Amino acid sequence: MFLINRSGEGNPSATAHANKGRIAPLLPLRDIIVFPHMVVPLFVGREKSVRALEEAMSGDNEILLAAQKIGKQNEPTLEEIHSIGTIGEIVRLLRLPDGTVKALIEGKQRARIIRFVPSESTFLVEYELLHDIVYPLTDAELEALVRSIQSAFDAYARLNRRVPPEVLVQVQSMEDASRLADTVIVHLTAIKLNDRQALLETVDVKKRLERLLELINAEIEILNVEKRIRNRVKKQMEKTQKEYYLSEQMSAIQKELGERDEFRNEIQDLEERLAKKSLSAEALDKVRKEIRKLRMMHPMSAEATVVRNYIDWVLSLPWNEKTEENYDIEQAERILEEDHYGLKKVKERVLEYLAVQALVRKLKGPVLCLVGPPGVGKTSLARSIARATGRRFVRLSLGGVRDEAEIRGHRRTYIGALPGRIIQSLRKVGTNNPVFLLDEIDKMSSDFRGDPAAALLEVLDPEQNKAFNDHYLELDYDLSDVMFITTANSLEGIPAPLRDRMEIIELSGYTEFEKLNIAMRYLVPKQIEEAGLSRSQVEITENAVRTIIHHYTKESGVRNLEREIASICRKIARQVLVDSKQDPVGARVYRIAAKHVPQYLGVPKYHSTKTSEQDEIGLTNGLAYTQYGGTILECEAVVVPGKGELVVTGLIEKGMQESAQAALSYIRSRQQVLGIEENFYSKYDIHVHFPEFVPKDGPSAGVTIATSIASALMKVPVRRSVAMTGEITLRGRVLAIGGLKEKLLAAHRAGIKTVLIPRENRNDLREIPRRVLQSMRIVLVEHMDEVLAESLVLPNPASIFGNRPRPMEVVAGKLIEFGSTAREALQEDHNKSALA
Ligand code: ADP
């Protein structure tokens, strides 16, 4: 059903007839095809074209717009211009300062150039209008094409954001199929000029729509592919670009700060160290990770410092470094002998211990614990053990450690965190099989920060210490090759679970004789050398050492003795320097005799022995046992008018008050025998005082207090040459005490002539060095009466205490028992006194 303006393709001239003879100026277009209904701004520069516009403006504003076949051509001929174009109307004309013209032109209708009208100044053509071949609105095919175009255009618009929304709306509602096609093509910006021209030339609307649909679909296809590629590339770009960008930024910062190279070197150093180091697999892995982390960090950041320190810690620990162990027991014995005087039993115990280790070749079983007062050689013994077993030596003092973290370290999240002291010590010693001395294990305490003893338990337990986990390292460290040795001043302070794991070896204080020997053989030569002197240059006599022992030290061990000797040696060294300046060739020998000692050490710090002092009323020598060894414990008592109060001062120990009460009760029960004023206990106050503070003493001062009180009440002096120890019952029976050996050593040091000890302690006498026993008289007492008879300065004790059997005695190192009947007699007497 062909309709109005029908014009068969094959015969277009048939329709052109009515328009014949129309003349219009021609504007040749480059790079653009103008469609009907399209309003375009055109910049016109060519002279001929400008004139064409002017020509049109002087007429009816109509101008023919036809594309050049070759856009670059400046002076196209007719053949070089497409014969089909669009007749347009100039809406506005604007002359620009540079002589060009901007024209706003609206396309009106397709037109065909029939011929050129020759003209000098411009293009003039004769043309005919072309009419579309249109179809009725009911044509289903047309309808389908229209809809397809509309939806395709919609999809296209989605992909190409440059289509304005109002155009989209316009297109969707457009009913004129021809106009639809011409509008859509304008917005398909990527379509080539040839295709556009072809569309312009297609007057059959259906054909035009079909072709347009093809083009638009192809376009969508391309856009989709483009989009996919863009997305893929974008993702890739984003990732690499981001990394690139960040690392560039980082290096820019680092360069700015000028330490990038240094940092790189540092990391390289760490890597080299790691390559050379033998570590546990876990540690190796961890260090690698940390180095990787470090590389990403800013060199000056706090985090980098933390990581760097950590790596340094792990790398400087001995993971597999060890010294070769020596299991030769004979050699070990030689070394122990070489380093230490005496200590026979101790050395034997140590050698037994080492023999067991040598047999099993593995450190299993209990840890050695050396217990004794300061300065008796615990540390130096441990050092010897290290030397004897071919291990290095490291010492860690636990005194005052109260925080679990000190043993096990702080987590790395803490500011300034460090590994615990165990790990720190191992780093210091540099091997993983040293002798590790844990000093003063009895001085640890625990508080809210956790129990260090529990952590230590793990360290010492052979089952657990294979994988010791320090909080800072967070790596398992194998402690099983470490030989732990502990020391303590007294057993009391050692937590029970720890004590169970240890083999206790007790070292006691030294006698004067032992001290003298140690000094002459070890301390003096050692200190002479340490002061940079030679042994041929200096002589310190035995008597000089004895003077130092008596008047400059008061101790169980030899620590202060060594210090004083060292002090003398240093002073000699100075003197040697001064003398050698004055007389460079003279080789003088410096001889230090007893009388020279004060020149070097100043006035004596301690006075002569107790025996040379006056006997006094109410002043008694007790003996106490402390963790620093044994000591003389003086006790004073005074009686003043009052109401019978008993006050004990000077010592904070709990048991003292009870001891004093018991002592007083005994004296009340013996008031008559002792010849003390009746009802004294309600007329007088009794004040008992311990002038010297002695920390920690068990309740073993009962006899001492009783003697002082009795002396004060009886107004009879106590012998200064006597010292005593023992606890008493209300009835005056003397009970056994602990620490006898240390107490006797103390009495020996103080030059005491007679020591009263409980008879029940008789068996302990076996441990006492012979020299000590030989130097004093020891009386083994059972009853307080015996104590008073021995210690008070009485003209005739028998007149007071009756004919008591003589107590057992040790005289000149020999035990004397006075007859087997002695015991029964004593018992009888005791019963009597109890009845009284
Ligand atoms: P401790 O650890 O028990 O407090 P040390 O081991 O520090 O005592 O001993 C103090 C000093 O006395 C050290 O120089 C040590 O060598 C020396 N010493 C202690 N006992 C002896 C001994 N029996 N033989 C040789 N020197 C000793």
DSSP code per residue over 142-160: HHHHHHHHHHHHHHHHHH-
700, 708, 711, 833: the catalytic one is 700
Ligand 1 contact via 337 beta carbon (within 6 Å): no
| Identity of residue 304 | A
Inter-residue contact 784 to 706 (CB < 8 Å): yes
**Which tens digits make up the pLDDT trace of 50-65?**
888 888 888 888 999 9
Of all protein residues, whose CA lies closest to atom 26 belonging to ligand 1? 340
Q: Give the chain's largest Cα–Cα span.
A: 177
Between CA 198 and CA 249 the distance in angstroms is 54
Average pLDDT, stretch 557-564? 93
- Return the pLDDT at 446: 67
Ligand 1 contact via 629 beta carbon (within 6 Å): no
Side-chain-side CA neighbours of 466 within 13 Å: the count stands at 6
Q: Tokens 């008018």 — which residue?
A: 641
What average pLDDT does the structure give for the chain?
85
Residue 380 CA: nearest ligand 1 atom is 6
Inter-residue contact 362 to 463 (CB < 8 Å): no
**Which tens digits make up the pLDDT trace of 774-825?**
889 999 999 999 999 999 998 888 788 877 777 888 887 788 877 544 444 4
Between CA 687 and CA 693 the distance in angstroms is 16
Contacts of 429 (CB under 8 A, 6+ apart): 318, 392, 393, 394, 436
Q: Residue 375 C-alpha to ligand 1 middle, in angstroms?
A: 5
Closest CA to 793 of 622, 631, 615, 636: 615
Between CA 239 and CA 233 the distance in angstroms is 10
Q: Residue 347 C-alpha to ligand 1 middle, in angstroms?
A: 14
Ligand 1 contact via 340 beta carbon (within 6 Å): yes
Inter-residue contact 808 to 817 (CB < 8 Å): yes
Tokens coding 140: 């289903």
Higher pLDDT, 625 or 757: 757
Ligand 1 contact via 370 beta carbon (within 6 Å): no
Bridge partners, 62 (sequence order): 89
In sequence order, what DSSP letters do the residues of 72-86 get, joined into one string? T-SS--GGGB-SEEE
Inter-residue contact 76 to 70 (CB < 8 Å): yes
Predicted confidence (pLDDT) at residue 312 exceeds the cutoff of 80: yes
Q: Tokens 């904070």 — which residue?
A: 652
**Which tens digits make up the pLDDT trace of 170-216?**
888 888 889 999 999 988 888 888 899 999 999 999 999 999 999 99
271 burial type by CB count under 10 A (0-12 exposed, 13-18 middle, 19+ buried): middle
Cα 261 → chain centroid: 28
Of all protein residues, whose CA lies closest to atom 17 belonging to ligand 1? 377
- Return the pLDDT at 703: 93
Of all protein residues, whose CA lies closest to atom 18 belonging to ligand 1? 377
Predicted confidence (pLDDT) at residue 827 exceeds the cutoff of 80: no
Ligand 1 contact via 558 beta carbon (within 6 Å): yes
- Return the pLDDT at 699: 57
> 392-406, 489-503, 640-654: which range is least confident on average?
640-654
48, 286, 443, 743: the catalytic one is 743
**Residue 168 DSSP one-character state:** H
Ligand 1 contact via 376 beta carbon (within 6 Å): yes
Between CA 351 and CA 80 the distance in angstroms is 120
Predicted confidence (pLDDT) at residue 332 exceeds the cutoff of 80: yes
Q: Angle at Cα 450 formed by Cα 444 and Cα 453, nearest 5°?
A: 40
Inter-residue contact 363 to 547 (CB < 8 Å): no
- Return the pLDDT at 451: 80
Predicted confidence (pLDDT) at residue 758 exceeds the cutoff of 90: yes
Average pLDDT, stretch 451-458? 85
Ligand 1 contact via 486 beta carbon (within 6 Å): no
Q: Residue 338 C-alpha to ligand 1 middle, in angstroms?
A: 13
- Return the pLDDT at 696: 54
Ligand 1 contact via 385 beta carbon (within 6 Å): no
Ligand 1 contact via 343 beta carbon (within 6 Å): yes
- Return the pLDDT at 724: 95
Predicted confidence (pLDDT) at residue 35 exceeds the cutoff of 90: yes
Between CA 600 and CA 544 the distance in angstroms is 11
Q: Of all helices (H) and strands (E), which one includes residue 434?
A: none
- Sign of the torsion formed by the C-alpha atoms of 415, 416, 417 and 420: negative
711 is catalytic: no
- Return the pLDDT at 12: 39
- Return the pLDDT at 652: 55
743 is catalytic: yes
Between CA 761 and CA 740 the distance in angstroms is 8
Inter-residue contact 9 to 204 (CB < 8 Å): yes
Predicted confidence (pLDDT) at residue 835 exceeds the cutoff of 50: no
- Return the pLDDT at 54: 87
Work out the number of other CB atoms within 10 angstroms of the CB of residue 292.
10
pLDDT band with cut points at 50, 70 and 90 for residue 651: low
Residue 381 CA: nearest ligand 1 atom is 6
Between CA 615 and CA 721 the distance in angstroms is 8
Predicted confidence (pLDDT) at residue 93 exceeds the cutoff of 60: yes
Q: Per residue, what are the HEC states of 179-215?
A: HHHHHHHHHCCCCCHHHHHHHHHCCEHHHHHHHHHHH
Beta strand 722-724 with 754-758 is parallel
Higher pLDDT, 100 or 438: 438
- Return the pLDDT at 17: 44
Ligand 1 pocket test, candidate residues 510, 522, 742, most atoms within 8 A of CB: 522
Work out the number of other CB atoms within 10 angstroms of the CB of residue 683.
13
Average pLDDT, stretch 426-452? 86
- Return the pLDDT at 791: 93
Average pLDDT, stretch 6-13? 38
Percentage of the chain exceeding pLDDT 70 = 91
- Return the pLDDT at 163: 85
pLDDT band with cut points at 50, 70 and 90 for residue 832: very low
- Sign of the torsion formed by the C-alpha atoms of 591, 592, 593 and 596: positive
**Which tens digits make up the pLDDT trace of 598-638?**
889 988 887 655 555 788 999 999 998 877 778 888 889 99
H helix runs in 474-541, sequence order: 496-500, 512-518, 524-530
Inter-residue contact 35 to 182 (CB < 8 Å): yes
Ligand 1 contact via 107 beta carbon (within 6 Å): no
Average pLDDT, stretch 28-54? 88
Q: Of all helices (H) and strands (E), which one includes residue 65?
A: strand 62-67
Average pLDDT, stretch 324-349? 90
Residue 439 CA: nearest ligand 1 atom is 2
* Radius of gyration in angstroms for the set of CA atoms belonging to the chain, rounded to a whole number: 58
Q: Residue 496 C-alpha to ligand 1 middle, in angstroms?
A: 27
Higher pLDDT, 236 or 291: 291
Cα–Cα distances in angstroms (integers) from residue 568 to residues 525, 550, 594, in the given order: 12, 16, 12
Higher pLDDT, 273 or 492: 273
Higher pLDDT, 692 or 136: 136
Of all protein residues, whose CA lies closest to atom 19 belonging to ligand 1? 377
- Return the pLDDT at 210: 92
